[in-house]
Structure formats: C-alpha cells, structure tokens
Amino acid sequence: MSDELIYLKNISKSYDGEMVLDDLTLYIKPNEFLTLLGPSGCGKTTTLRIIGGFTEPDSGVVLFEGKDITNMPPNKRQLNTVFQKYALFTHMTIADNIAFGLKIKGKSKAYIDDKIKYALKLVNLDGYGNRMPDSLSGGQQQRIAIARAIVNEPKVLLLDEPLGALDLKLRQDMQYELIRLKNELGITFVYVTHDQEEALTMSDTIVVMNQGYIQQIGTPEKIYNEPENAFVADFIGDSNIVDGIMIQDELVEIFGAKFACVDKGFGNNKPVDVVIRPEDVELTDPDKGTLKGTVTHLIFKGVHYEMEVTTPNGFEWLVHSTTCYPVGIDVGINVKPFNIQIMNKPESEDEEAVHVEE
C-alpha cells in the first residue's frame, strides 16, 4: 500500500518463550482513528508499545512514512503516548506539566506560553494552568495528559486504555472529547481498549485481536454486522452462536428447521457456525415461528427487554425486543435472511485455539 502512515510488517514478539505476537502485519492510515481491541493478553498493548518504541520486536519491521524506525528510540519518533496512569508530575503546575516536552526541546518561552494556552483551550480547561494535578478530577487529569501530548505536534497519538480508570459518565464524555480532538487536530489516533462499546463508538477502523493474531479488521459496522469468525461474533456485542447445516446456497438448517439466508459458497450439507444477534431474533405466536420455544428469563434494560427463550433441544436464545413476552409463555422464533451470518467451522483444534477463546 502507498498511503499508509505506519506499516507493521511480520512483527513477532515473545516473553519468556510465550508468543505474544505471531507474524502480525498491519497498516495504519493518516488521520485514522484505529482501535486495537481484544481481551487481556491478546497482544494489543505490546503492538502499541512496538509502534511507540518502548518495546522492540523479536522479528519484523516498523515503517513510518516508509522509513524503518524499528530500532529508533521513542523520543525520536513523531508520536506521543497517553497511558492509563496519566503520569502527571505532581510537584509541577498544570502549565509546567504541559510545557515539559517543549522545554526539553529548547522552545522559546513565548512559543511555550502560546502552546499552553492553545492546548488548555483545546481540552476545555482554560485557566487551569496554575492549578496542581491533585486538585483535578480523573477526567481533568486525563485531558491534561492529552494536552501534554498534543503540544508536541505528533503525527500519531498512541492511547493505552486511557479511560479505564474513569467512571461510566466521565468515560462517555471523554469518548466524545477524543473524537472532537481527533477531528480538530487532524492527527492519527491508535487506541488500545478491551471495551467493545468504546471501540464501536470512536473508531474509524477496529482491529480485533486474540492470542497474538489479528482476527478481523474493519469499520465498526462491518465488525458488528459481519463478523468473520465465532470469536469476533462473541466478543463484539452479544450473539447467539449455534450449530447449523448449510443445506445449499441461501438455505441453512438450525435445530431441524430450515431458514432462508443470503450466504453462498459454503457447499451442500456442510456443518457451519450460525451467528444471529439478539436484536435480530423476532418473536411471534408459536404457530407462526420457524422454531418454537418458551420464555425462561426476562430483564427490562430501559430501551429494550432482554429475554432468554429456550427451545426444546435446550438451547437458550438471547433476545432483545421492545415487546415484552412474560416468563413461561410459548413463542415462535423467526429471523430475516439477511440477519443470519454463516461462518465456516474451525477445521482443526489448532485453528480453533487461534480463533476462538472459550
């Protein structure tokens, strides 16, 4: 590719003989908000640290605008990192915290003062320059950490679970702040999180990782609506993942019932994994359903009801609906063809270990 800003090529990394990244290749484009998403231990933070220069890969190269920076120290790279622990200097004022990197670079006092004002305004903390870090809330400290990073005018901002220590409301507020900053600054954001909602809310591109491998790369919509394997389907949002038989193109059998779908090319009478999102399960009268079941659990979630519907074979379907079906009632289950996602089953136990973490 010719338009990538960062190119990670065949990156591998192990610690104490345990492989953390295995031959990972990834492109990051200019002005992109790219999120590395996955469970603990999947390799996302190691990938970020390799981009930042804090960790060297065992093999592979890191290219920045076509130049090999694999062995370049962090302070020589055109990027800055914001960590979950904000690492503000507690004995310095907010202004001095923000100015720290600029003073090291030998910038003039007038330049530094202008940059401090600009950065504080950008993160909506005008007039906070003379305050001390311990007088700020967690969200405010996080914004100062971001301000300190952006005054250095990096081409890339690396963020390692920066909202993890904040409560839900603050976290949501900061998500919008980060989107606004990214749009105003026109720089590339590379963001690490295990929070699926955070990734879906903020990202242009999501890279789903598991056990050192990239499972899928795509837009939030693509990742959610068209997961490429059972791990992605299970990790991003809620899913019903059931065994099916692909009878022929556009026809799948689930628990003995035939459902029309839109997928082709899986062959005839082939075992497959079938993914159906809870909001795509349609409940109706028992005699109008392709499958029948009984409501066994009900929770009101505010915007919808969350129900479990147990079919005669014992499978518990997760269903989200704005219509309430009381516990104990018999219902029918229907699914529109384009809401059924068909996936190949792993061909071996090794492949399953790579792609699906139970």
* Residues 68, 56: Cα–Cα separation, whole Å: 13
Q: State the span(s) of the chain assigned CATH 3.40.50.300.
A: 6-225
Give mean pLDDT, residues 41-61.
95
pLDDT band at 183 (very low <50, low <70, confident <90, very high): confident
Beta bridge partners of 300: 305
Pairwise CA distance, residues 15 & 211, whole Å: 13
Neighbours of 60 (CB within 10 A): 17
What's the rounded mean pLDDT across residues 272-283?
96
For domain 6-225, give the CATH number: 3.40.50.300
- Strands (E) across 45-149 are located at 59-64, 67-68, 79-82
* Structure tokens belonging to residue 324: 């309430």
Query: Confidence band (pLDDT; 50, 70, 90) for 237?
Result: confident
Q: How many CB atoms within 10 Å of residue 261?
A: 25
Residues near 244 by Cβ (< 8 Å), separated by ≥ 6?
252, 253, 254, 271, 272, 273, 274, 342
- Listed in order, the ranges of the chain carrying CATH 2.40.50.140 are 239-355
The predicted pLDDT at position 137 comes to: 86
pLDDT higher than threshold 70 for residue 17: yes
The pLDDT of 92-98, averaged and rounded, is 93
∠ CA 301-316-197, nearest 5°, is 40
CB atoms within 10 A of CB 250: 15
What pLDDT shows up at residue 145? 87
Asked if the model's pLDDT at residue 129 lies above 80, the reply is yes
Could you tell me if 247 and 268 are in contact, meaning their C-beta atoms sit under 8 angstroms apart? yes
Average confidence score pLDDT of the chain: 91
The pLDDT assigned to 2 comes to 52
Q: Please, which pLDDT band fits residue 348 given cuts at 50, 70 and 90?
A: very low
Residue 246 has pLDDT above 90, yes or no: yes
Q: Which of 45, 7, 76, 68 is nearest to 158 (CA)?
A: 45
Fold of 239-355: OB fold (Dihydrolipoamide Acetyltransferase, E2P) (2.40.50)
Check pLDDT > 60 for residue 8.
yes
